[in-house]
C-alpha cells in the first residue's frame, strides 16, 4: 500500500574538509551509522539503501558500505547524478518508501574531493584545432575557448553575468557578488562542521585570486571530503515509534527531481535556470505552500554568482529582482528568508555526492531547534536545493513535526 506522508527520522553529516586517513567507505559508514543512531534505529530496520558517489566511483559502494555497517540482503541502488547525486539517492529511498515497498530506508552520499582543483562539466568534445566527425556527437565541435567554457567557475561566471545583462544593475557587479560571498563566510563561523569557518570582509574576498570573473577563490565552493546520510520512514511506521522519535522527525512535504527540457542552446551549454524554476514550481505545488512560507533556504551556491540567480529561480523574489531582494537584506540571517545559514558550499564545502543530503541536514536541524548558534528562531518550513550540471535539479521542502 502506498504511503502518503514521508518523514526523515534520522540524519547526519560528517565534518567536511580533509580526511586523509579515511576512504569513501569509511566516511559513508561514519555518516550512515550516526544517522541510524540519530533516528534510534539500526541497519536491520532498513528496507532499502541508496548510496551516492561520483568522483571516486567506488564500484558497488552500497554493497561495500554494507560490509561495514551490516549486510542484511536489502536492495541497494548505487547512484550518480552530478552534484545532485545525494539528493537523487535520498529521492530514490523516498520513492521506495512512498510506494509501500518498505517502511524505512537509508540514503547516503559521500565524496573524497579535497585537492581536486577545478572541475569541468564535460559538455564539449575533445579539444582539437581541426574539426573531424567522430563519436556520438560528431556533428558538434568542441567549444572550449570557442563558444565558452565547460569549467565550472567559467560556466557559473557566465550565468551570473548573463543575469545582470538581462536585468541591468547600476552598482558595482564585482562588489555585489563579493557581498553575497561575505554573508556566507560570516555564517560559516557558527557551523563547526564547515570545511572553512573564517569570516572574510568584502575587501578580502575581492582581493583573493581571480578564478573566473567575477568569482574569486573565496566566491567558489570549497572542494572537500565528507559524507551525509538520512533515514527515511513512512508516516504509518513513524506512528508506531516513540514520542521522542515522532517529535524529532521532519516531514518531507515535497521531493522533486528535474532535468533539462529541450532547448537548442542547452544541447551545448547548460541552462541552470529553467530546470530549477520548474523544480521549484513542482515542489511548492506538492507541498501546498509558496516561497513566502519558507523560514530558511539552503541553495546550491557552488559560486557566488549561482546564489544570486537562484534567488530568482526559486521565486524567493519577483522575477528579475534578485539584486534588489538581496540588497534589502532578505537573504541574511535576520532577513525575511535566510539563505545558506550553514555557510553554503563556499564555506561549508562541496563533497559533491554528500551536498544534497547535507543541505537537508541543515534544514532539519533548524526545524528541530537543534542548530545551535546559527538557529533560525521558530523555523517551521525549509527548502533545500541542489543542481548538477548535465543537468539535474533536486528540490526538497521539509516541515517541522507538529508534536
Q: Which domains does the chain have, with CATH numbers?
A: 6-115+222-400 (3.40.47.10)
Which residues have a catalytic role annotated? 83
Give the pLDDT of residue 365: 98
Cβ atoms of 62 and 77 closer than 8 Å: yes
pLDDT band at residue 113 under the 50/70/90 scheme: confident
Grid cell listed for 369: 531547534
pLDDT band at residue 267 under the 50/70/90 scheme: low
Angle at 281 between CA 158 and CA 356, to 5 degrees: 65
Give the pLDDT of residue 123: 44
Q: Would you say residue 384 has pLDDT above 90?
A: yes
The per-residue pLDDT for range 298-350, each reduced to its tens digit, is 999 999 999 999 999 999 999 999 999 999 999 999 999 999 999 999 999 99
* Between 269 and 186, the higher pLDDT residue: 186
CA distance 176 to 287: 33
Q: 297 phi and psi, to 5 degrees?
A: -140, 135
The per-residue pLDDT for range 349-373, each reduced to its tens digit, is 999 999 999 999 999 999 999 999 9
pLDDT > 70: percent of the chain: 88
Q: How high does pLDDT run on average in the chain?
A: 91
pTM: 0.92
H-helix or E-strand spanning residue 106: strand 104-111
Report the pLDDT averaged over residues 394-400: 98
pLDDT band at residue 270 under the 50/70/90 scheme: confident
Grid cell listed for 91: 529521492
Q: Would you say residue 219 has pLDDT above 90?
A: yes
Give the pLDDT of residue 229: 98
Q: Say if residue 293 is exposed, middle or buried (CB neighbours under 10 Å; 0-12, 13-18, 19+).
A: middle
- Nearest in space to 43 (alpha carbons), one of 114, 100, 102, 92: 102
- What is the gyration radius of the CA atoms in the chain, in angstroms? 20
Give the pLDDT of residue 178: 98
CA distance 220 to 18: 17
Cβ atoms of 216 and 160 closer than 8 Å: no
Q: Would you say residue 222 has pLDDT above 90?
A: no
Cβ atoms of 259 and 392 closer than 8 Å: yes
The per-residue pLDDT for range 114-164, each reduced to its tens digit, is 866 655 545 444 455 565 666 655 545 555 655 567 678 888 898 999 999
CA distance 222 to 13: 16
Give the pLDDT of residue 363: 98
Q: Would you say residue 247 has pLDDT above 80?
A: yes
Amino acid at each position: 500500500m502506498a504511503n502518503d506522508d514521508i518523514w526523515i527520522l534520522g540524519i547526519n553529516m560528517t565534518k567536511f574538509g580533509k580526511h586523509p586517513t579515511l576512504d569513501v567507505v569509511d566516511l559513508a559508514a561514519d555518516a550512515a551509522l550516526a544517522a541510524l543512531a540519530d533516528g534510534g534505529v539500526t541497519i536491520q530496520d532498513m528496507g532499502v539503501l541508496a548510496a551516492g558517489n561520483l568522483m571516486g566511483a567506488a564500484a558497488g559502494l552500497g554493497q561495500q558500505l554494507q560490509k561495514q555497517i551490516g549486510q542484511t540482503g536489502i536492495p541497494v541502488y548505487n547512484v550518480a547524478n552530478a552534484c545532485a547525486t545525494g539528493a537523487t539517492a535520498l529521492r530514490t529511498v523516498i520513492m521506495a518508501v512512498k510506494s509501500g515497498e518498505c517502511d524505512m530506508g537509508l540514503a547516503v552520499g559521500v565524496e573524497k574531493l579535497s585537492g581536486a582543483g577545478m572541475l569541468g562539466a564535460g559538455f564539449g568534445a575533445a579539444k582539437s584545432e581541426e574539426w573531424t566527425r567522430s563519436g556520438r556527437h560528431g556533428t558538434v565541435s568542441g567549444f572550449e575557448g570557442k563558444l565558452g567554457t565547460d569549467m565550472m567557475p567559467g560556466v557559473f561566471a557566465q550565468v551570473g553575468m548573463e543575469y545582470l545583462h538581462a536585468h541591468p544593475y547600476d552598482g558595482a557587479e564585482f562588489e555585489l557578488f563579493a557581498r553575497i560571498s561575505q554573508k556566507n563566510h560570516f555564517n560559516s563561523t557558527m557551523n563547526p562542521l564547515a570545511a572553512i569557518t573564517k569570516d572574510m570582509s568584502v575587501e578580502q574576498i575581492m582581493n583573493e585570486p581571480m578564478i573566473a570573473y567575477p568569482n574569486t577563490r573565496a566566491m567558489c565552493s570549497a572542494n572537500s571530503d565528507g559524507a551525509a546520510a538520512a533515514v527515511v520512514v513512512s508516516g504509518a511506521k513513524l506512528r508506531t515509534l516513540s514520542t521522542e522519535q515522532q517529535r524529532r522527525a521532519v516531514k518531507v512535504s515535497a521531493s522533486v527531481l528535474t532535468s533539462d527540457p529541450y532547448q537548442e542552446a542547452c544541447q551545448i551549454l547548460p541552462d541552470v535556470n529553467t530546470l530549477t524554476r520548474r523544480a521549484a514550481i513542482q515542489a511548492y505545488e506538492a507541498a501546498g505552500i509558496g516561497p513566502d512560507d519558507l523560514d530558511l533556504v539552503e541553495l546550491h551556491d557552488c559560486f557566488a554568482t549561482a546564489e544570486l540567480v537562484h534567488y530568482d529561480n526559486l521565486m524567493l523574489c519577483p522575477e528579475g529582482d534578485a539584486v534588489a531582494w538581496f540588497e534589502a537584506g532578505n537573504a541574511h540571517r535576520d532577513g525575511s528568508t535566510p539563505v545558506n545559514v550553514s555557510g553554503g558550499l563556499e564555506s561549508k564545502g562541496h563533497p559533491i555526492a554528500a551536498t544534497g543530503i547535507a543541505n537537508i541536514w541543515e534544514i532539519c536541524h533548524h526545524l528541530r531547534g537543534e542548530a545551535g548558534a546559527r538557529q533560525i528562531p521558530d523555523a517551521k518550513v525549509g527548502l533545500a536545493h541542489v543542481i548538477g550540471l548535465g543537468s539535474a535539479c533536486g528540490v526538497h521542502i521539509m516541515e517541522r513535526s507538529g508534536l
